[in-house]
């Protein structure tokens, strides 16, 4: 089912006391305001266990920023799907552009991460998005098509139909203050839905939740959410600020 989700990607920000305070404030706010959108937070792996406990029985979902492509073994510093699940985390971001850029993650490897998530009954938020030079060269649709189709090629339609979230995050919009225009984002979201339909069938395409990410803020969120194929947002910088983030959540009607 297509879901309305506003997700916070806290990246490598916030000490544990800061993260806990923000999480508990958000929890109180969500209880009072009962927003239409589901609210996700993605803290560093270190805090997952405790925040999952603190937010047990709340309507905030604590998710992971990343997962290993390997099931277990000698991979120092990595965290497996099974380990995430063992502390109560069922969803992980995969393929974020910062992982692609700084850790050289490629589409097939990202696909392996997705396989491990599904094998453990978990699910991905697959991040895709072109770089500025791709867009300037008119290659943005080709790049995103490759990212989506290769990462999903080995997944079953049943898994995808029930549990697929994609985040379209154009690299040139991340952390730059320069968000995609709503119609630019809508065009790419519709394109992503079409690719999924072509490869996995209309039912999967219809059920896929597609979030926009890249300089979403309290001022531009509602224009983004007005677009037909934009189901919600994956928010970086503005999610660290309680007022900004709750304004963005409220904008998802």
Residue 169 designated active-site:
yes
| Beta carbon of residue 17, minimum distance to ligand 13P (angstroms, whole number) | 22
| Beta carbon of residue 202, minimum distance to ligand 13P (angstroms, whole number) | 28
Find the Cα–Cα–Cα–Cα dihedral 81, 67, 164, 42, rounded to 10°.
110
Closer residue to ligand 13P, CB minimum distance, 204 or 216: 216
Binding-site string for ligand 13P from residue 29 to residue 68, where x marks contact by CB under 6 A and - marks none? ----------------------------------------
Binding residues with ligand 13P: total (CB under 6 A): 14
Would you count residue 169 as binding ligand 13P (CB under 6 A)?
yes
Closer residue to ligand 13P, CB minimum distance, 30 or 238: 238
Q: Which of 116, 2, 136 is nearest to 64 (CA)?
A: 116
CB-hemisphere CA count at 13 Å for 71? 5
Residue nearest to ligand 13P (CB): 236
Would you count residue 170 as binding ligand 13P (CB under 6 A)?
no
Spatial contact of 217 and 199, defined as CB atoms under 8 Å apart? no
Full DSSP string of 7-60? EEE-TT---HHHHHHHHHHHHHHHHHH--SSEEEEE--GGGHHHHHHHTTTSSE
Binding residues for ligand 13P, rule: CB under 6 A, are 9, 96, 169, 174-175, 213-216, 234-238
């Amino acid at each position: 089912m297509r879901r309305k989700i506003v997700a916070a990607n806290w990246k490598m920000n916030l000490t544990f006391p800061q993260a806990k305070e923000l999480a508990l404030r958000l929890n109180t706010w969500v209880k009072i305001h009962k927003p239409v959108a589901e609210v996700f937070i993605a803290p560093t792996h270190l805090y997952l266990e405790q925040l999952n406990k603190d937010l047990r029985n709340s309507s905030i979902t604590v998710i992971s920023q990343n997962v290993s492509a390997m099931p277990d073994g000698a991979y120092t510093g990595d965290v497996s799907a099974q380990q995430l699940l063992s502390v109560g985390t069922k969803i992980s971001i995969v393929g974020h552009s910062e992982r692609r850029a700084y850790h050289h993650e490629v589409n097939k490897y990202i696909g392996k991460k997705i396989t491990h998530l599904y094998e453990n009954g978990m699910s991905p938020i697959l991040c895709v998005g072109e770089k500025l030079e791709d867009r300037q060269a008119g290659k943005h649709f080709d790049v995103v098509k490759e990212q989506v189709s290769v990462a999903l090629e080995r997944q079953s339609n049943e898994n995808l139909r029930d549990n697929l979230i994609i985040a379209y995050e154009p690299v040139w919009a991340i952390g730059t203050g320069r968000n995609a225009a709503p119609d630019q984002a809508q065009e790419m979201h519709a394109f992503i839905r079409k690719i999924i339909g072509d490869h996995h069938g209309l039912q999967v395409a219809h059920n896929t939740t597609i979030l926009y990410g890249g300089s979403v803020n309290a001022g531009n969120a509602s224009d983004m959410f007005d677009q037909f194929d934009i189901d919600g947002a994956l928010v970086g910088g503005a999610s660290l600020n309680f007022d900004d983030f709750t304004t963005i959540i409220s904008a998802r009607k």
